[in-house]
Structure 1
Amino acid sequence: MTISAAQCRAARAMVEWSRDQLAEAAAVSKRTIVDFERGARAPQRSTLAAIQRALEDAGVRFTEAGVELLDKPPHR
């Protein structure tokens, strides 16, 4: 499953991460996060996977219906 920009924004809000924090956790540029979340461009599949993995590691689960917070997110 490929995550959507809306799922990314929602997941980031759930774990209370800034775009900078997500970029650092996923090892991608902040510009990549900004452009993806606003729909300016679609990142490469490997970049999306890194973003998804970082958010999942923070306690988010992606579903067909949206996103769920599984655990209390760790503070970074």
Structure 2
Amino acid sequence: MLSSSQIKAARALLGWSGTDLADKSGVGITTLRRYELQEGIPSANTSVLMLIKRALEDAGIQFTGDPLVNPGVVLHLSPSA
């Protein structure tokens, strides 16, 4: 799982707007904004959270730690970056 703070941090590391993540994940921008406003793990359909997670991971994000206790993200830059 992932927390709302991890979603926001991952977007910041990638320099993505909410619209960018919505486009890349296939999740509506309104849904994404609602998730980001929540604390901890968003009250969401698991399959929707997995779409968000997959889009961020495909862009080089690694989620670390426990999403409730010590959530973290790491950006792995491609060798060409």
TM-score (structure 1 length as normaliser): 0.87
Question: 1:30-49 residue pairs with structure 2 within 5 A?
Answer: 30-39=29-38, 42-49=43-50
TM-score (norm 2): 0.82
Same amino acid, percent of matched pairs: 39
Moved over 4 A (4+): none
2:14 aligns with 15
Aligned residues: 71
C-alpha displacement of 1:43: 1.9
Extract unaligned runs of 5+ from structure 1.
Answer: none
Which is higher, the Rg of structure 1 or of structure 2?
2
Q: Tell me the SS of whatever aligns to 2:73.
A: strand
Offset, 1:14: 0.4
Q: CA RMSD in A?
A: 1.5
The aligned amino acid for 2:74 is E
Shift of 1:42: 1.8
Point out where structure 2 has 5 or more consecutive residues left out of the alignment.
Answer: none
